[in-house]
């Protein structure tokens, strides 16, 4: 292997200028690990990914990062508004790069989230939030199965 190939393997996928700017705009220092994870997360298409799946993709791309660092980075990105956290059940959490208003189908056989675009769902009769609180958002997850 040439020195260039070794270097590329050690660094993993390259973050774009936009991804570097996105991290800096959120107040994050663009470390090698954050940039590598951002390059995987913020590609051309929106996606839903678990911490375990991101860790696996990062390892396959040559990014040396612990699962704990992946979790910490995902939670940092979420707190700063770069990702949206979606809890499907107590044991399964996904991170969504699509920050627009939408809901989800969840296919239990595939453990896959599928976007339901826009405000095509009507939720009526929501209770008033307790005193001193306000409603942030309503997440609808419609569970589906293969026929």
Please report, for the domain that includes residue 13, its CATH number: 1.10.10.10
pLDDT at 15: 66
Closest C-alpha among 122, 92, 86, 90 to residue 104: 86
pLDDT at 21: 85
pLDDT at 72: 96
pLDDT at 141: 87
Closest C-alpha among 125, 30, 143, 11 to residue 88: 143
Q: What's the total number of domains in the chain?
A: 1
pLDDT at 119: 60
Owning domain of residue 47? 3-144
pLDDT at 80: 94
The residue ranges of the chain whose pLDDT is under 70 are 1-15, 118-120
Does the reported pTM lie above 0.85? no
- Do the beta carbons of residue 103 and residue 141 sit within 8 Å? yes
């Amino acid at each position: 292997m040439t020195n260039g190939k070794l270097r590329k393997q050690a660094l993993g996928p390259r973050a774009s200028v936009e991804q570097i700017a996105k991290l800096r705009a959120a107040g994050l220092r663009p470390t090698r690990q954050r940039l590598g994870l951002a390059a995987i997360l913020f590609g051309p298409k929106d996606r839903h990914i678990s911490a375990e799946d991101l860790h696996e993709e990062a390892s396959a791309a040559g990014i040396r990062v612990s699962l704990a660092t992946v979790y910490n980075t995902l939670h940092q990105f979420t707190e700063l508004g770069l990702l949206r956290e979606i809890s499907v059940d107590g044991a399964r959490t996904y991170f969504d790069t699509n920050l627009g208003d939408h809901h989800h189908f969840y296919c239990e056989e595939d453990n896959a989230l599928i976007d339901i675009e826009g405000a095509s769902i009507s939720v009526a009769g929501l209770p008033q939030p307790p005193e001193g609180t306000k409603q942030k958002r309503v997440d609808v997850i419609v569970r589906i199965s293969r026929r």
